[in-house]
Amino acid sequence: DTGVSQNPRHKITKRGQNVTFRCDPISEHNRLYWYRQTLGQGPEFLTYFQNEAQLEKSRLLSDRFSAERPKGSFSTLEIQRTEQGDSAMYLCASTANYEQYFGPGTRLTVT
């Protein structure tokens, strides 16, 4: 399968804990994006990478959030000291020809 994959698919954590999500993009895509989607809303842009360089971060990405793409392949999104407001679906996408291919998402529930 050459699609975008994300792990885990679901994560339940207690408030204050740290969580990390992984995204594996389509191998030849050099741009990778992270989005957050809350219930009843469209995805909101968080950040994107061109190869290993993080080129833009949304104001939604507070200092508790950090994203990396160490070798320009897979990416991780870490949330420190999770809050209930962080509960959402976190989507990853990679790009070819202005078309973004989305992974299935990681649903985070903070209790």
Partner 1 sequence: AQSVTQLGSHVSVSEGALVLLRCNYSSSVPPYLFWYVQYPNQGLQLLLKYTTGATLVKGINGFEAEFKKSETSFHLTKPSAHMSDAAEYFCAVSGPNNDMRFGAGTRLTVKP
Decide: is 56 part of the binding site for partner 1 (CB under 8 A).
yes
Strand partners, 54: 49
Which of 35, 65 has the CB closer to partner 1?
35
**Amino acid identity of 45?**
F
Instruction: Check residue 41 for interaction with partner 1 (CB under 8 A).
Output: yes
Cβ at position 46, least distance to partner 1 in Å: 9
For residue 17, how far is the Cα from the chain centroid?
A: 17
Q: Under rule CB under 8 A, how many of the chain's residues touch partner 1?
A: 25
Of the candidate spans 22-30, 66-74, 79-87, 100-108, the one that interacts with partner 1 by CB under 8 A turns out to be 100-108
Q: How far, in Å, CA of 83 to CA of 105, rounded?
A: 19
Dihedral sign, Cα of residue 86, residue 90, residue 95, residue 101: negative
The CB-of-7 to partner 1 minimum distance in angstroms stands at 13
